[in-house]
Amino acid sequence: MVRKMRKRIFLVGMLMTSFGITGCQQTADAVANEEEMIYLSVLAGQSTPDAGIEDMIDEKVAEILPNVRLEWECVDWGENFDAEVNARFAAGDIPDILIGKAQDARHYYATGNLAEIEPMLLEEIEDSAKNTVMVDGIAYGIPYNSWYQGVIYNKKIFEKYKLDVPKSRLELEQVVDTLEKNGVVPFAGHFQENWSVGNTTMQFMLNNIFAKNPLWGDAFRDGKESYSDNAVIQDCMECNQYILEHTWEDALSVDQAACDNRFDNGEAAMYLTGTWSLQFSNQNQQSEEYGIFPYPNLTGDSKLIRETNMTFMKSATTEYSDEVDKIFEILISDEELMGEILNYTQTFSVKKEYKKEFESCLQDEINIYEKSGQIIEATVGNTQLIWFFQNDVAAQELMWLQGKKELDEVLMYADLHRLESIIQ
Amino acid sequence: MNRRKSSGMERKMSRQYLVLVLPGFLIFTIGLIVPLFLSFRYSLTDWDGMSAEMKFVGLQNYIKLFGDKEFLESFWFTVKFTIGNTIIQNICALLFALALDSGIKAQKFYRAAFFIPCLISAVIVGFVWLKLYSNVLPEINTWLGTNINFLLFGDADTVLGGLLIANNWQWIGYWMLIYLAGLQSVPAELYEAARVDGAGPIKRFFNVTIPMLAPAITICVVGITTGSLKVYDLLISSTKGGPGRASTSMIYQTYTTAINGRQYGYGSAMTVTLVIMLLLVALIQVKGLKKKEVQA
């Protein structure tokens, strides 16, 4: 009996020990796995169409680098990104990866917080995009995609009224007249948000000011140029007024989403915007056919605007430089992921010989402008006048468009705040 | 012997009070008092918030502030928003509280329904009303064939009204509960006595209810006023200070100036001015309203 009892106690003891050891082992494995995991912080400054790409990147990273996790902080690029980056730089809490726009690489490199990008990672990037992130021959970011800005037009409406793409202001006025005579709203317009006025004003300024003098911003800050004494800038702002006069009546109260929707329903013939406005059309799989042309400038030599959009930057102090580079490599080399992102954001690749997963309805016309060199990079203007300044002046401009201010006051305001037009 | 014992007890109690107060005192000092003094210090400089250089400029930022058209515009917007909120929220909250206190059916349901919006973040409320005004409500026009302007956030003349609707929708339920608690604590004997004295419902309301609700009125008026003066989160998700600058509040202006505009010193001057304004408004209101409070 006693022997039986001893045997049972021994067996129970063995079982408990074995369970204990296994349990401990499992816990230890979990701890080891947890310790092996690398968490990379990402601060993403996103424009509206970019929201959602983080899931696509996460999925791919989990597949290829199972021990790496990305911890995303997504903020609105126009409203909060610069402020957030500055705060993080000031606190010394620099995210391992920053996602901004091409001009951000140039702005932030001077703080010493951005790491140089391995030349190997940029080998496949188009030179035109690469140039937007280069400072003294060194790249501080990886341009990923671009979008185009100009007038997107409804081809069916243009064909119906036998209209040609206008190349001069006079031709544009004739197109507008024909459309209005036929009861068609010439322009889709949304003037609820300051940013849209800031964007269109920069589009006009790029072709009228910065295309002629890429250092206009420096001259402006030196007091050699001004808004008040410049008839061309006045004309740029009046172009917004022209669009407002030839769009739907409630345009001052319409936001981008509503405007995209209306344009996609064929309620207007032309839309001064960027290719981001086609995201709605793409998601709804509408069959409207669109084309794009640059808004004619005063000299009739307007160019289509290309903005290098998402740009990946690396912290100069990251502990995981190799892992960050691996992620950059995935982003550039994985064309399936690239295709997914480009299709979702309705943007265009800046990778050389990228095999297209999707073809935008604007692609043919964009190719024509690209091949003939009729392209101007948005960074030309955006590095000369920072977005905060553009947006701030746009708020004043919008008040003029609402009839609450005189144009002279807007121009004067810009001149008074000229020192805020660049990061000192 | 007794005196020594009681003073020992007092010392023990004082130590206990100190221990209990200390965490709150530390958090309050580190989180509020120190930043406030630092803010005042920065407001006397031209600091951009980033660089190591910080030049002392004296009261220059404050002088500039009172001539700054943009700041004054944001000040007037904030004042109008505050006055609108204080009047509408107090009146509506009191009326709803009276209705619920009158013994109507489904009182609990209404109480919960009115209270729920204040549990939602103001950022969400702003977003919800933005979508309501720009997408949902205009659809009603399509169904009914009407032409009502629902795009309130899109016009400088209607944006204040649109924001007042959104803000009041969120907060009326909260203040209503405070009034309701006040109403329920009014002794029934007072109404009884007034009735015996021949007072009708209106007289009872103004001579019994209102004086007895004075402490609740003080809380609600001060709470709504100071809350409205600090409006920011509602704007960030709805109007972003626009259209143009039509709904830029003082806090919004301060944030964009200090953070986006990299004028930390100037932004700090705005903050200090706002804090002084808040303190003055709260002090005047509390002093004024306290005088009218009565005890049952």
Taking 70 as the pLDDT cut, the residues of chain B under it are 1-6, 292-296
Average pLDDT, chain A: 87
Assess if residue A235 is contained within a domain. Answer: yes
Q: What is the pLDDT of residue B4?
A: 54
Asked whether residue A32 carries a pLDDT value surpassing 50, the answer given is no
Beta carbons of A377 and A190 less than 8 angstroms apart:
no
Asked whether residue A7 carries a pLDDT value surpassing 50, the answer given is yes
Chain B neighbors of A194, CB-CB under 8 A: 240-244
* Cα–Cα dist B238/B158, whole Å: 14
Q: Which residue of A has its CA nearest to B136?
A: A258
Asked whether residue A251 carries a pLDDT value surpassing 60, the answer given is yes
Structure tokens at A268: 């207007």
Classify A385 as helix, strand or coil.
coil
**Residue A423 forms contact with B (CB below 8 Å):** yes
Matching residue, tokens 């600058």: B245
Gap from A190 CA to chain B (nearest CA, Å) = 10
Pairing mode of beta strands A348-349, A145-154: antiparallel
Residues A120 and A163 in one domain: no
Picking from A136, A193, A140, the residue whose alpha carbon sits closest to that of residue A308 is A140
Residues A405 and A289 in one domain: yes
Residues A54 and A139 in one domain: yes
Assess if residue A225 is contained within a domain. Answer: yes
**Residues A253, B260: C-beta atoms closer than 8 Å:** no
- What lies within 8 Å, CB to CB, of A75 at 6+ separation is A43, A44, A45, A46, A81, A84
**Which burial class, exposed, middle or buried, applies to B172 when counting CB atoms under 10 A from its CB (0-12, 13-18, 19+)?**
buried
Residue B31 half-sphere exposure toward CB, CA atoms < 13 A: 6
**Residue A395 forms contact with B (CB below 8 Å):** yes
pLDDT average, residue stretch A4-13:
56
Q: What is the pLDDT of residue A320?
A: 93
Under DSSP, the state recorded for A165 is P
Average pLDDT, chain B: 88
Asked whether residue A53 carries a pLDDT value surpassing 50, the answer given is yes
The CATH number for A250's domain is 3.40.190.10
pLDDT average, residue stretch A85-112:
88
Rg of chain B's alpha carbons, rounded to an integer? Answer: 24
Residues A169 and A265 in one domain: yes
**Residue A404 forms contact with B (CB below 8 Å):** yes
Q: Which residue of B has its CA nearest to A78?
A: B260
Structure tokens at B9: 């007890």
Fold of B68-291: MetI-like fold (1.10.3720)
pLDDT average, residue stretch A300-304:
94
Assess if residue A267 is contained within a domain. Answer: yes
A4: pLDDT confidence band, cut at 50, 70 and 90?
Answer: low
Chain B neighbors of A395, CB-CB under 8 A: 241-242, 244-245
Asked whether residue A3 carries a pLDDT value surpassing 60, the answer given is no
Q: Which of A273-287, A310-324, B200-214 has the highest mean pLDDT?
A: A310-324
Assess if residue A16 is contained within a domain. Answer: no
Number of separate domains in chain A: 2
Work out how many CB contacts closer than 8 A connect A with B.
Answer: 80
Beta carbons of A150 and A128 less than 8 angstroms apart:
no
Asked whether residue A14 carries a pLDDT value surpassing 80, the answer given is no
Under DSSP, the state recorded for A164 is P
Asked whether residue A28 carries a pLDDT value surpassing 60, the answer given is no
Cβ-based neighbour number of residue B276 at 10 Å: 10
**Residue A79 forms contact with B (CB below 8 Å):** yes
Assess if residue A22 is contained within a domain. Answer: no
**Residue A86 forms contact with B (CB below 8 Å):** yes
Residues A401 and A275 in one domain: yes
Beta carbons of A189 and A243 less than 8 angstroms apart:
yes
Residues A380 and A417 in one domain: yes
Residues A71 and A201 in one domain: no
**Residues A193, B241: C-beta atoms closer than 8 Å:** no
What single-letter amino acid sits at B56? F
Residues A250 and A396 in one domain: yes
Q: Which segments within A315-378 are labelled E, that is strand? A: 348-349, 375-377
* Cα–Cα dist A96/A111, whole Å: 15
Asked whether residue A1 carries a pLDDT value surpassing 80, the answer given is no
Interfacial residues of B (vs A; Cβ cutoff 8 Å):
48-50, 134-135, 149, 151, 153-156, 236, 240-246, 256, 259-263
- Domain span holding position A69: 37-144+309-354
Assess if residue A4 is contained within a domain. Answer: no
- What lies within 8 Å, CB to CB, of B270 at 6+ separation is B65, B71, B250, B253, B254, B257, B258
Share of chain A above pLDDT 90, in %: 57
Q: What is the pLDDT of residue A258?
A: 86
* Cα–Cα dist A236/A206, whole Å: 10
Q: What are the residue ranges spanned by the domains of chain B?
A: 68-291
Q: Which residues pair with A72 in a beta bridge?
A: A42
* Cα–Cα dist A169/A354, whole Å: 36
Q: What is the pLDDT of residue B256?
A: 87
Residues A188 and A157 in one domain: yes
User: How does A384-417 read in b/e, with b if 16+ C-beta sit within 10 Å?
Assistant: bbbbbbbbbbbbbbbbbbbebbebeebbebbbeb
Classify B222 as helix, strand or coil.
helix
